[in-house]
Amino acid sequence: MLPTELLTIEEAAQRLNMSVRYLRRAVAERRVAFHRLGRSVRFDPADLAAFVQAGRVEPMTPESVWRGLRSVA
């Protein structure tokens, strides 16, 4: 089944609000899923959403800070 919409690298970078250079580096390092069509690189919006979600970092809580400090002492 083909994705309904594939984005160019410029469109994907704009959608992520990142530079094209950053996205090209992520492709080269295989950190983001992409489709290669000949020499062209295309992105499925669902893959971009998964890339963003994978980078999510939960906020720190006072309990997690204190738990980390106890292991140091």
**pLDDT tens readout for residues 51-69:** 999 999 888 888 877 776 6
CA pair distance 16, 65, nearest whole angstrom? 31
pLDDT digits (tens, 9 = 90+) for 23-50: 999 999 999 999 999 999 999 999 999 9
